[in-house]
Structure 1
Amino acid sequence: MASPLKPSGPLSSGNIATSESALSLTPRSQDSYQTPPLTELQRLLWTHKPSTGHVNEVWPNLYVGDLYTARDKAHLRRMGITHIVNAAAGRFHIDTGAKFYRDLPVDYYGIEADDDPNFDLSIYFYQAARYIRAALNSPRGRVLVHCAMGISRSATLVLAFLMICENKTLVDAIQAVCKHRGVCPNSGFLKQLQELDMRLAREKGRGADPLRL
């Protein structure tokens, strides 16, 4: 089983580039693509919103779920989950942690994030993407990314992963996830994803070398 990649704390402006350089980015094909305004992104989320259960596979071997799934160890075992990303970690949120899963063969990664538009979740985008990519590349890797309801914090991290590691635009990522699960990142998280989308586009525009894991 792959060793967990532990969070190294919030990224400062001085080490964001280091985290970005550890990930792969290939040129995007939509040369005319522009990041849509917030209202259009919200409309896209609301109009492509399938029914949502406790957990859904939104990308091969990558699942988004809620606290009920995260606490149902028997179900996690049946699903074959090998890695868990808790986007609502901490004693005042979903306080599971590595000890909670000690009787399961899983790696645990926790992020103490608030579902608040003013919370800066973007400082974890590259760390979480790196962890998810490594987990999916591990033998029989299956990853659950969850928060309380599985629609905002966890969905934001998965969208960022698809943009960073799977060469998706923000629109592409939303469409890919919403085929399988209704998600709705709060307005602050959507703005942070917009900024990531524009940053990745600028990297392409500058002809930057591909970033690799």
Structure 2
Amino acid sequence: MGLPQPRLPPPALPTGPAVVGCRPELRGQSRPLLSATGLCHFATLVLALLVLLEPLGQVDTRKTVKAWCEVHPRACYSVFFLMPPPPQVGVGRPLSQALRFRGQGSQKQHQVCRDRRLETSSTNCPPEKTTAWVRLPHRMDSVQKQDLRRPKIHGAARVAPYQPPTLASLQRLLWAHRAATLTHINEVWPNLFLGDAYAARDKNKLIQLGITHIVNAAAGKFQVDTGVKFYRGMPLEYYGIEADDNPFFDLSVYFLPVARYIRTALSVPQGRVLVHCAMGVSRSATLVLAFLMICENMTLVEAIKVVQAHRDICPNSGFLQQLQVLDNRLGRETGRL
């Protein structure tokens, strides 16, 4: 059984100069407790001042930004848009009301600027489109994305101009795509046939194919001597050229006349043309290439590829050089070079 403890009197405060001037209500408290209480009171006062000065700071900031925007109106729209909403736009209001308030503010600012422009004839005021973008910022983002999707005309790679082929490149092209077999006659272009002397003398084959015009690039007594008398009684026309399969023979003088003759013959209803020589690979092939270049607006390389897709051809080096000259001249006339 415990005995009650006697109540002891409070300890007596020390006397002397250390306690002189102390407040009676603070005599029983220690120094650390006094310091903590003072810091708490000071922090409370500081927080209260910050809460009271925050609206004033926002007002001063808005006044400063507004004054700066009057001097620089074009650069102030992003600042106005990023500023926090005014006190009357509460947390509970929807976003549409906030955007409407900002649009009204921008309209007022634009009206003031427009009045000032009428007075001072200034041109620093933002246009109407800028005010609309401030009112609807998502429209600016969509326009910027569309601009990024547009093709950059100045930055696009330009097409390299046409480079005339060299003689060596033409010979490689002719030898690289040689056909395995060689027939007597082939249709290398719609209603345009390329063949040899055997096909030119086969009247039954000519009637079967419906040939209406013949161009003989090896006419002459000692070459493919057919002529008008050979085709007498057949419904076809004859055009003969006495050309030699020689690199030094100038076949270019016949390029334009033969091209016109072939074009006229193909323009006739059901017109079909046969161009031939002895083998159908050099002289007649050169004339067909010249026709495609002059009348069909092809380059020399394109014409060779078109004909090679149906028949093996091999013009001699002199004829290739003459075709190169024709290719350069047509390129300058058509703006290709």
TM-score w.r.t. the length of structure 2 is 0.52
Structure 1: distance between partners of 2:311 and 2:289: 12
Counterpart residue type for residue 171 of structure 2: Q
- Choose the corresponding residue for 1:36, options 162, 165, 172: 165
Runs of 4+ in 1 over 2 A off after TM superposition: none
- Hey, what's the Cα distance between the residues in 2 that align with 1:129 and 1:31? 29
Give distance in 1, aligned partners of 2:291 and 2:183: 22
Partner of 1:183: 313
Distance in 2, Cα, partners of 1:193 & 1:160: 7
Q: Does 1:65 align with 2:65?
A: no
Cα separation, 2, equivalents of 1:55 and 1:169: 24
Kept after mapping to 1: 8 A contact 2:216/2:275:
yes
Instruction: Name the structure 1 match of 2:269.
Output: 139
Please point out which of 106, 127, 130 is paired with 2:260. 130
**Which one has the largest radius of gyration?**
2
Aligned equivalent of 2:219 = 89
The aligned amino acid for 2:257 is Q
Q: Does the Cα contact within 8 Å between 2:266 and 2:273 map onto a contact in 1?
A: yes
Question: Which residue of 278, 285, 291 maps to 1:155?
Answer: 285
* Equivalent in the alignment of 1:210: none
1:46 aligned residue (150, 166, 175): 175
Asked whether 1:75 is paired with 2:205, we answer yes
Aligned partner of 2:154 in structure 1 is none
Deviation sequence 1:68-125 (CA, Å, 0-9, x none):
0000111101110000000000111111011110121000000000000000000000
CA distance in structure 1 between the partners assigned to 2:266 and 2:286 by the alignment:
18
How far did 1:204 drift? 1.8
Q: Which runs of 5+ in 2 are unaligned?
A: 1-158
> Hey, what's the Cα distance between the residues in 2 that align with 1:91 and 1:32?
46
Match in the other structure for 2:299: 169
Structural RMSD (CA): 1.4
SS in 2 for 1:89: coil
1:139, distance to aligned residue in structure 2 (A)? 1.3
Distance 1:70 1:31, change over 3 A: farther
Change (3 A) 1:71 1:31: farther
State the AA in 1 paired with 2:330: L
How far off its partner does 1:31 sit? Answer: 6.4
How many positions carry a matched residue from both structures?
178
Q: Which has the higher helix share?
A: 2
Q: Find the residue that maps to 1:141 and give its secondary structure.
A: coil
Q: Quote how far apart the aligned CAs of 1:205 are.
A: 2.8
DSSP 3-state at the match of 2:186: strand
Query: 1:175 and 1:206, CA in 2 relative to 1: closer, same or farther beyond 3 A?
Result: closer
For the residues of structure 1 that align with 2:291 and 2:245, how far apart are their CA atoms? Answer: 18
Amino acid at match of 1:44: L
Within 2, Cα distance between the matches of 1:44 and 1:118? 22
| Contiguous gaps of at least 5 residues in structure 1 | 1-29, 208-213
* Other-structure match for 2:244: 114
Contact persistence 2:162–2:336 (CA under 8 A): no
CA contact (8 A) 2:186 2:311 kept: yes
- Counterpart residue number, 1:98: 228
Between the aligned partners of 2:284 and 2:334, the Cα distance in structure 1 is 27
